[in-house]
Chains A and B, each alone.
Chain A
Amino acid sequence: MLFLLGGCYDYKEINDLAIVSAIGIDYIDESYLVTLEILKDDQDKDSSGVFSFIKIGVGKTLTDAIENASDKITKGTNFSHVKLMVLSKSLMKENFDNIIDLFLRNTYFRENFYVLGSDKNSPEEILSNKSLSQSSASEQIVKMFQNMNYSSNSNVLKEYNKLVKDYLDFGIDICFSNVSIIDNEFVGDGLVIFDNDNYKNTLNNSYAKLYNILSNNFERVTYSINYNNKFFTVAINNGKVDVNINNGKIIVSGNLMGRIIDNDTDFDIRDNKTLKKIDSDFSVLINELVEDFIKKMQKENSDLLGISSKYYKRSRIKDDDYWKYLDVNSNINFNLNKKGLIYEK
């Protein structure tokens, strides 16, 4: 009986599995090009780090391409540990809806992998880039984007199931970060935005920061103001912002708090009047940037903040074009926080 157990349905020994950690999908000449990043399990047992290799498959359909890549592997492919999907610009432009459909139906894939775009490099280039570290590309990329919360905060790392939800919900469009290779290093390179399943544009990192602020998903966003060629820098680390349609206008309201990061100016920051001026100047800056961002969204017809959805919930009017033609009025108040950290220069 013990030996019979070895042949049970669905039984697979762990060392007979090719663990796929990332999938890259490209669309060239009406064919899908799938790149599978597979983790190596035959390396030295004592070595630390996660190493990988890639396999490429081509097919007229996405399934064909995945099967084609899987056929080239000596072990059975296991997709339950996929943590990253990289999509090429051509795919995002032409066949993004297919991605949503296939991975939602397939039970062999987990649904909490991250989705990133790559408009400058092909997914194959991204997943095979290991110049600086031998460890797997997906591991490096995911860690880099996760750690951006504590640096520029221009990362929009979204899981597939969150994307599907936004895709299916009325009145909200999807977006995610874009990754590129510059000087053999991975960089977070802006924000890919969509109108439903239509790729619209890739915005730069400053828009990604604003998106994070307006979706109340930020840890530490920095802004600087130039005062006579000397910079005063603050990091916004707390607060809440609300975007809504009110009296025929898009009203952005809320309070943000931040602390001083860098004071190159000769400001006497122990003086209350100076602090008020700083608060006021940064409030103006942020409001200008927010208004610009929302206008950009209106221009691209990409409702990333779900303004139509909120409007529908309040008014029960289902109109996803209404928000595009409204004026934007941003009234965010910025205040310096942690004044105890302010010291005399």
Chain B
Amino acid sequence: MVKKLNKIVKRIKNEFNKTPDLVIKKIDGSLFTRIFIVYLETVASSDKVNDYILKEFILKKNKINKYNIVSYIAGANVKLIKHVDKCEFYLTNGFAIVIIGNDIYAVECRAELNRSVSEAKVESSINGPKDGFVENIQINVGLIKKRLKSSSLKTDSLILGRKSLTNICIMYFEDIVDIELINKIKNKLNSIDIDGIIDSSMVGFLLTGENFSVYPTFLETERPDIVANSLLKGKIAIVVDTASSVIVVPSFFIDFINPGIDNYNKSKNVNFIKILRIMAFLISMMAPAIYIAVMNYNQETIPTNLLLNFAKERNGVPFPTIIETLLMLLVCEILRESDLRFPSSYGSAISILGAIVLGEASVSAGIASPITIIVIAITFISSLTFTNIEINNALRYFRFIFIVFAGFFGLYGVTLSLFYFLIYSTSTYSLNKNYFAPISPFNREYFFNTVLKNKIDKDSRRSSLFTKKNMTKMKVKN
């Protein structure tokens, strides 16, 4: 008996050798009864172990035996472990393992390693809820369930990563979602054999294919309200432990242009902003290309006085317009990257340096004309409308395609690039759904949810893009 008991502890000890935070506490009970309490002091709280287990065990050690031990454990979450291999999972997840005889119990004594729920930083909005996801799956699932209390909201759990043993929850409304899509996601995730999952983006890439398209084909959001809204539409949320954002699939082009936080504004007012964002996307994508085309090939397309002003401003610039534009774009990309990576306290220094280098010095030195600076500034300001970094990267890809084509063929090249953009966008898919929906193919319900916003009482049906059942969202009473 004693030999066997030692075997379990020994095995754990062997598995966790060179793990100095492994604590093994032995309590000698009545005759032949030895209790071992094993936990990792870095992930489990010593105070909780003391309160839930040790206090009672030490005081009543003579009364405890393998039949009544559970009643002496004060912890709320106590699990009987049937196989010693499971100990690893529970230990690393902040459980304390209580071993008595052949029986192994796991008691949740998780240390509070989480930051508190704080405001969403990237997707901040003036109206609407302020809370954002944190790096704890339970809190994140809780933030979603707090908003959607129906029992039809299902959560399928699975563990990914041989080394990381990352907990992943797939959340969906059973009575709304397309079950085939759920099965597809589950099969795909179950087929993944990877050593570690560090962030939700890894799950997203593995699910949708990383280099399948330059576009982001899954939405990562830090707002629980957006996830809740997406679930109601029939989309699927994937919550990954230790990630502060939740994946929403399928996600389309327009989801990244007009985010869900628009719902908190009046449709009449927000539609202007929505159209403005689409214009900003087109401007950011095409402005440098149109500028190059007009400056080098299609001078007849702009008013004479403007042309003359352009010519005046360009006098003395040694580079062709395309080189000048690419140089300035490159400087701007470097500036943006440095601004993103550097701590915010350095931000102002970078901004001042950027403003001086771009705005003043390059013009004075004759490297660039003021018009180029204006075009590049408009391009970049327009791109800053989109908070999602991946859509900005996609925008940059298309911007360079447009520039190269405009450099070769002028406005004809811009038209060719526009065709390329449309063909590329319409042939991209997010989990087999057309990425350019609801524009192409057109879907009325989702169009008036994203491209434009309909009045709330008109928005009574779910989009057929995501589901074919339970289509009525709201019953409008006259």
| Contact surface of A with B, Cβ cutoff 8 Å | 2-3, 5-6, 8, 10-15, 17, 19, 21, 39, 41-43, 45, 50, 78, 80-81, 83, 110
What residues on A are CB-neighbors of B12 within 8 Å?
Answer: none
CB of B417, distance to nearest CB on chain A (Å) = 14
CB within 8 Å of A: which B73-115 residues:
none
A17 contacts B311, CB within 8 Å? yes
What residues on B are CB-neighbors of A6 within 8 Å?
Answer: 320, 322-323
Query: Which 6 pairs across A and B sit closest by C-beta, in order of nearness?
Result: A80-B300, A41-B311, A15-B314, A6-B320, A5-B407, A81-B304
CB of B379, distance to nearest CB on chain A (Å) = 18
Chain B facing A: main interface SS:
helix
Instruction: Tell me which of B307, B308, B314, B322 contacts A2 (CB under 8 A).
Output: B322
B308 contacts A50, CB within 8 Å? yes
Instruction: Tell me which of B304, B315, B322, B408 contacts A19 (CB under 8 A).
Output: B304
Tell me the bound Cα distance from A5 to B326 in angstroms: 12
| Chain A CB within 8 A of B132 CB | no
CB nearest to A75 among chain B residues: B311
Stretch among B21-29, B188-196, B291-299, B455-463 lining the A interface: B291-299
Instruction: Tell me which of B297, B304, B317, B409 contacts A15 (CB under 8 A).
Output: B317
Chain A facing B: main interface SS:
loop
B297 contacts A19, CB within 8 Å? no
Instruction: Tell me which of A2, A10, A42 contacts B326 (CB under 8 A).
Output: A2
Known A-B contacts A2-B326, A45-B313, A80-B300; A14 and B295 likewise in contact (beta carbons under 8 Å): yes
Map CB proximity to A onto B361-383 as digits: 1 under 8 Å, 0 otherwise.
00000000000000000000000
What residues on B are CB-neighbors of A19 within 8 Å?
Answer: 299, 304, 307-308, 311
Instruction: Provide a sorted-by-A list of 27 A–B residue pairs whose CB atoms are within 8 angstroms.
Output: A2-B322, A2-B323, A3-B323, A5-B323, A5-B404, A5-B408, A10-B410, A11-B297, A12-B297, A13-B296, A13-B314, A14-B295, A14-B296, A14-B310, A15-B311, A15-B317, A17-B299, A19-B304, A19-B307, A21-B304, A39-B304, A41-B312, A45-B312, A80-B300, A81-B299, A81-B300, A81-B304
CB of A189, distance to nearest CB on chain B (Å) = 26
Map CB proximity to A onto B401-413 as digits: 1 under 8 Å, 0 otherwise.
0001001111000
Total cross-chain contacts (CB, 8 A):
73
| Chain A CB within 8 A of B244 CB | no
What residues on B are CB-neighbors of A45 within 8 Å?
Answer: 312-313
| Chain A CB within 8 A of B305 CB | yes
| Chain A CB within 8 A of B321 CB | yes
Tell me the bound Cα distance from A6 to B296 in angstroms: 9
What residues on A are CB-neighbors of B408 within 8 Å?
Answer: 5, 8
Tell me the bound Cα distance from A78 to B305 in angstroms: 14
CB nearest to A83 among chain B residues: B304
B297 contacts A10, CB within 8 Å? yes
Tell me the bound Cα distance from A3 to B407 in angstroms: 11
CB of B290, distance to nearest CB on chain A (Å) = 14
Given known contacts A5-B323, A5-B407, A6-B323, what 4 new A-B pairs fall within 8 Å (CB)? A8-B407, A13-B295, A41-B311, A41-B315
Known A-B contacts A14-B307, A15-B314, A42-B315; A78 and B407 likewise in contact (beta carbons under 8 Å): no
Tell me the bound Cα distance from A6 to B300 in angstroms: 20
What residues on A are CB-neighbors of B321 within 8 Å?
Answer: 13-14
Question: Of residues B297, B308, B313, B407, which shows the largest number of chain A Cβ atoms within 10 Å of its Cβ?
Answer: B308
CB of B298, distance to nearest CB on chain A (Å) = 9
